[in-house]
Structure 1
Amino acid sequence: MKKAWWKEAVVYQIYPRSFMDSNGDGIGDLRGIISKLDYLQELGVNVIWLCPVYKSPNDDNGYDISDYRDIMTEFGTLADWEELLAEVHKRGMKLIMDLVVNHTSDEHPWFIESRKSRDNPYRDYYIWRPGKDGREPNNWRSFFSGSAWEYDETTGEYYLHLFSRKQPDLNWENPRLRAEIYEMMKWWLDKGIDGFRMDVINAISKVPGLPDAPKRSDDPYQWGTEYFINGPRIHEFLQEMKREVLDHYDIMTVGETPFVTPEDAIKYTHEETGTLNMVFQFQHMDVDMAPNSTKGKWELYPWKLTDLKKIITTWQKELEGKGWNSIYLENHDQPRSVSRFADDGEYRVPSAKMLATFLLTLQGTPYIYQGQEIGMTNVKFDSIEDYRDIETLNMYREELAKGSKPEEILPLIHAKGRDNARTPMQWDASENAGFTGGQPWIKVNPNYREINVAQALMDPDSVFHYYKRLIRLRKEMPVFVYGTYDLLLPEDEQIYAYTRTLGEEKLLVVLNFSAATPLFTMPAELERFSQRQLLIVNYPVNDEESREFRLRPYEARVYRFSNGTDRR
C-alpha cells in the first residue's frame, strides 16, 4: 500500500455558519474561524474541511452558489479567506474546500442567462426539458421533497433540480461548462488550497433521455436514483477532471457519493486507476433506516450492532489494498453520533469516547465534525419555528399536508434532522455558548452550560483530551493508519472488537456499544506475542493483564501486541 499524507491526516469539518461569530451578527464567519485555529491545532487535527463559503443567496446554507470566485458577505471577504488560508498553513495544517458542481444557485449569472430564452448561449449549461402530457418531463423526486422539476414561465420549459428549486442542476454533457468548472478549480488551487470535498459528485452524469423511474409507491414522484447516480459518463467526466486539474497538484480529494457500493468506490478510488483519493459512502448512515422505506430517512427504525459491523467490515475488507476509506460518524447532514449510536444521557462522556476510539482506529482517513470532540448532542426544539433546514421544513409541510400532527412529526426531526448538527458550537457557559454576542441564526442547544469547550479544556478526563490522545497515537504509530482490519465476534450484539495488523505489530480494539457489562475474553491468537500494552482506555483499569474482563457501559480499550521493543 502506498503511503500518502492524506491517508495519515485527521480532518476537522467546519460548518462556518455555526462555528464562531466574530462580529455579533449571529452568523459564524471567517474571522471567527481564524480566532479558533489555535484550538484546532491543540486538538491535533491537520486538515480543515471548510463547508461552502462562496457567494450565495443561502437557500441551502451555502450549497447554492451564485459566484464560485467570491465569498458570502455574511462570512467576510476574499481577503479574510486569504488570511484564513495563510494562518492555517502557518500552523502546519491544510485547508480543503467544498466543490459544489452538480448544481448552482438560480441566482448564478449562468442560470440567469440560461432562463432568458431557449437559444441563449448559456441555455445548455443546465438541464431544460419541455413538459410531458401536461406535467413534468419525468417523475423524479427531489431529495428535498416533491418533484425534481420546476416550470419556468419565461420559456415554457422545466429545469431539473435534484435538490432545492433554487439549485438547478448543471449539464455536464456540455464540454464548455466542464471547461469553466476546471478553470474555477484551478483558480482556487493556485491560491494554495490543499484539495476538495466534492459535493454529490456521483450525480453529475444523468442517463440520456431522463426516463421515468419505476413506480414504487403511491407518491407521484419517485427517487429515480438509478438514472442519475453513478451515471454512464461519471468516470469519463472525472478522468477528464483528473487530467485537466487534479494531476497537476499534490492535493486531497474526497467525493460525496451517496448510494455507492464498495465495488463502485474502488472504481472511484483505486490506487492505480481511480480519480479520487477517497469517497464518503452512506451505508453505515442508513443502518437505522427501515428497509424499503418510502419515507427515506424520516422513519425511526432500531439499528443492530451486527448490521453496523457487517457494513463497516465489508468496506474495510473490500477496499483493502485497492482503494481508501473515509471514516466518519457525523457531519453537517447527519445527527450527532453520541445521540444516534450511543448514549447522550447518563453515559454521554464514556460513550462519546468509545465512538472516538471507533472513529480513529479504523483503516481510512478520519473526519471529526465540529463539536464531536466535546460530545455535543442532538437538540429537541419544541416548535418547528426553531428549525432552519430546508429539507426538514419541506418534510414537515409535506407530512402536515398528508394529515400528520406536529407531535407525530417532531420526534422524527429530533432524531434525524440536519439541524441537530447545525446548532452553534458550544464554546463556553456564557450566553449563546460564547458563539455570538448577538442573536444566533439558529438557537443554541440548551445543554451548552454543561457541554462546552472551556469546560472540556479544563478537565483532563474530558472527551476533548481523549480525542487529543487518540490523534497523537495515530500520528505516532503507523499501524493505526496502514494496519489491516480483521473483525472478531461478528455475531455479538454488544461488543465490537477487531484487530489492526502491520508487520509484526497488532492492535486489539474492544468497544462496548451497550449500557450492559458483557464479558470479553482475549483471543487465543494473541498469546503468541511477548509484549502487551494497554494504549488507551476510557475508564480507569486495574485488570490490564487479565485474559478475561467485564466491560463497563460503553467501555473502549485499545491494546498493542508485539514481539520486539517499543518502536514509538
Structure 2
Amino acid sequence: MTTTTWWKHGAIYHIYPRSFADSDGDGVGDLPGITAHLDYLSWLGAEAIWLSPFYRSPQRDFGYDITDHTDVDPLFGTLTDVDRLLAGAHRRGLRVILDFVPNHTSIDHPWFAASRTSTDDPRRDWYIWRDPADGGPPNNWRAVTGGPAWTLDPQTGQYYLHSFLPEQPDLNWRHPEVRQAMHRVMRFWLDRGVDGFRIDMVDYLLKDEHFRDEPLDGHGRYEPALARHQLNQPGTLDLLRELRDITDGYPGRILIGEVEYRLPLPRLAGYYGQDDMLHLPINFWLLFTPWQAHDLQTFVTAYDRALPGHAWPNWVLGSHDISRMATRLGPDQVRVALMLLFTLRGTPVLYYGDELGMTDVPIPPHQARDPWEGRDPARTPMPWTSAPNAGFSPPEARPWLPLGNPSVNVAAQMADPGSLLHLTRALLGLRRGHAALRDGSYQPVPAPDGVLAYRRTLPDEEMLITLNLTGAALDIPIPGEPLLSTHGETVGLLRPHEGRITLLRVAGQVSEAGHVLAGGG
C-alpha cells in the first residue's frame, strides 16, 4: 500500500460527533471525546475516521446548517481541539476525513443575511432566487425533507431555493465567487492537515439553468435519483474536477461523495470521471437491496462490472440517516453482514457502534430531536461501559438522546473473545494480512439457495467467502484452509447464520469449489 492509495485497503469508521463521547458533561459528544478514544479506533483496526460536521451552526439540522465553514461550534470544541485530534490520529496512523457541505448554508450565515437584504446586494446571486410563477413557487421542485423546495421571502418578494430544510438555502454554484469561497474552505482544512473530505450531496450542486418542472409519475411525484432538472446536471462533473484538482495538490488526500441513495449504476459510475472526480462516490445500494443471497449476488456482480477500470468500489451497511444494521437485518445476521462488508472488493465504511451490534433505540416523542423525524434512533450515544450513562457522559449529565441496551458496550465485548467487537477486529486484521482480500478480483460462486459465495483472487492467493443467510444448517463441503468463522471454531456443517473465510491454496481448487458448493445441500 502506498501513501496515495491508503483509502483502497482499510476501513473508514464513521463517527457522529454528537454521539461518540462527551468530555465536558453537557450531554453532547465533542472533539476531545473523540481524541480520548483514538486508541480504541487504532486497536479496532480502522484506517481512517470520518467525522460528521462540527462547524459553527445553529444546529437546526445538527451541523449541516453551517454559519462558518472554517470554525468549530463551541458545542464540539475549538480549532485547537481539531489540531489535537489530527495530531493524535496521525501519530497512530489514522487518517481523518471531514464532512464538506457545499450545497447550502444556514439561513443565519452572513452570506445569506446579506443576500436577502436587497435584490441589488453583491451577495444576492450567491444563492438561488426566483420570481413567483402563477402566484406561487417558481416550479414544482420538492425538498428532500418534504414540501416545496422554495420559500417566499417577504422582504424582496422572491423565493429562495432550499433542497433540504427552509433554514438551509442552496448556494449558487454557477457563481464563480461562490466556487472560489468554497475552494478556500477546502484549502483551509487541507492546510490544517485533514486527509480528505466526504462531500455532502454532490449531485445537488447544480440545478437546471431554466428551472423547468420535473416530470411527474402517475402519483404526482418524482423520484429524486431520477430527477432531470433539480440535480445530477452535467456541469456538476466539471465542478467535481475543480474540487479534485485542489485535493490532488495535497498528496494522499481523498474525495468521497454522497449521491442519491438509489442512483442508477451508470450515473453512480459516472462520478468517478476519468479518475479526475471523486475517488469514491458512495455506494448505498446494500442498504436497500433485499437481504437474500440471490439479490445480493446479483447486485454485487452488477456493480463490480459497471465500474470503469480505474474505479475502486466501496460499501456501506450503516448510516446516520437510516435504521441501524442490526435492526434492519436482525441480530442473527449481523455477523454475516460484517463479514460481507469487510470481504467484498472495495473500501468498507463502518458506522460507529455497528461493531457492537447497536440497535435502534426507541425515542419517546418528548425526547425527539430530529427535524426530519425518524433518524434519532440510529444516532444514540456510543456505549463504552456499563457505568451510568454508559461511559458516554459523566454520570451527572443528561445525554442528548436516550441510551440503548446497557449490556451492549465496548468494555463488555472487549472482555469477551467471542463478541461481535472481536469478530470485527479479526475481520479487519485478516483484511490487512491477506492481499487477496484487499486487492483481489471478485468472482461469484454458484451455491445452494440462501448461500452467498464468492472468491477474492490474485495470481498467488485465492480466498473463498461462504455466507449462510438462512436459519438452517447446511451440509456442504467448503474447501480450503479455514481462516475465520463468524461462529468461532470451524465445524463441518455450515451453521445457521454462519459465514466462513477459507484460503484456497491451489488455483484448481477455486474452480472446483464453485461446483462443490453448487451441488451441496
TM-score, length-scaled by structure 1: 0.84
Which residue among 369, 390, 404 is the counterpart of 1:433? Answer: 390
Structure-1 separation of matches of 2:393 and 2:257:
32
Aligned counterpart, 2:470: 514
The question of 1:444 aligning with 2:403 is answered yes
Flag the 1:215–1:362 CA change in 2: closer, same or farther, 3 A.
same
CA distance in 2, matches of 1:50, 1:426: 18
SS of the residue 1:485 aligns to: strand
Indicate the SS of the match to 2:476: strand
Amino acid at match of 1:489: P
**In the alignment, which residue of structure 2 is the partner of 1:402?**
none
How far residue 80 of structure 1 moved from its aligned partner, in angstroms, is 1.1
Give the aligned residue type for 1:477: H
1:45-65 CA distances to partner (integer Å, 9 max, x unpaired)?
Answer: 120101111101111111111
Contact kept, 8 Å, 2:114 with 2:121, in 1: the verdict is yes
Aligned to 2:342: 360
In structure 2, what residue type is equivalent to 1:388? R
For residue 495 of structure 1, what is the aligned residue in structure 2? 451
Post-superposition, which runs of at least 4 consecutive aligned residues in structure 1 deviate over 6 A?
none
Instruction: Give 1:534's match in structure 2, choosing from 482, 486, 502.
Output: 482
Paired letter, 1:451: V
Q: Find the aligned partners of 2:160 and 2:143 in 1 and give their Cα distance.
A: 12
Shift of 1:217: 5.3
Aligned residue pairs, count: 502
3-state SS of paired residue (1:48): strand
Q: 1:370 aligns with which of 335, 340, 352?
A: 352
Q: What do residues 216-274 of structure 1 show as CA deviations (whole Å, max 9, x unaligned)?
A: 2556888573223321201111112223443444201111111433322333225x443
Alignment of 1:54-203 (within 5 A): 54-203=55-204
What is the Cα deviation at residue 542 of structure 1? 5.1
Q: Which amino acid aligns with 1:111?
A: F
- CA deviation digits over 1:423-463, x for unaligned, max 9? 11111112222211211111112x1x221101011111111
User: Is the Cα contact below 8 Å between 1:266 and 1:322 reproduced in 2?
Assistant: no
**Is the 2:355–2:421 Cα contact (8 Å) retained in structure 1?**
yes
| 2:345 alignment partner AA | Q
Among 365, 371, 381, the residue aligned to 1:384: 365
Matches of 1:37 and 1:185 in 2, distance apart? 24
SS at match of 1:558: strand
SS at match of 2:271: helix
Partner residue of 2:319 out of 318, 331, 339 = 331
Q: 1:282 offset after TM fit, Å?
A: 2.6
Amino acid at match of 1:539: H
In structure 2, distance between residues paired with 1:22 and 1:459: 27
Residue 317 of structure 1, CA deviation: 2.5
Following the alignment from structure 1 to structure 2, what is the Cα–Cα distance between the partners of residues 384 and 537?
41
Structure 2 counterpart SS, 1:58 = coil
- SS of the residue 1:98 aligns to: strand
C-alpha spacing 1:256/1:68, structure 2 compared with 1 (3 Å): same
Match of 1:262 in 2: 265
SS at match of 2:355: helix
AA aligned opposite 2:403:
V
CA distance in 1, matches of 2:197, 2:222: 33
| CA spacing shift, 1:462–1:507, aligned 2, 3 Å | same
The separation in 2 between residues aligned to 1:275 and 1:220, in whole angstroms, is 31
What is the CA-CA distance between 1:44 and the residue it aligns to?
1.0
Look up the equivalent residue of 1:431 and give its one-letter code.
P
Give 1:394-409 correspondences, 5 Å limit: none
The alignment's TM-score, normalised by the length of structure 2, stands at 0.92
| Matching of residue 311 in structure 1 with residue 294 in structure 2 | no
**Change over 3 Å in CA distance of 1:477–1:221 after alignment to 2:** closer
Counterpart CA distance in 2 for 1:430 and 1:458 is 15
* CA distance 1:151–1:217, change in 2 (3 Å): farther
Taking only the aligned residue pairs, the percentage that are identical comes to 39
State whether residues 9 and 365 of structure 1, in contact with CA within 8 Å, keep that contact through their aligned partners in structure 2: yes
SS in 2 for 1:335: coil
Checking the alignment, whether the CA contact within 8 Å between 1:320 and 1:484 is kept in structure 2 is no
Q: 1:540: Cα distance to partner?
A: 4.1
> Which residue in 2 is equivalent to 1:20?
21
1:321 matched to 2:309 = yes
CA distances 1:526-555 after superposition (whole Å, capped 9, x unpaired):
7xxxxx311110224454xxxxx5322210
For structure 1, which runs of at least 5 residues remain unmatched after alignment?
289-302, 393-416, 527-531, 544-548
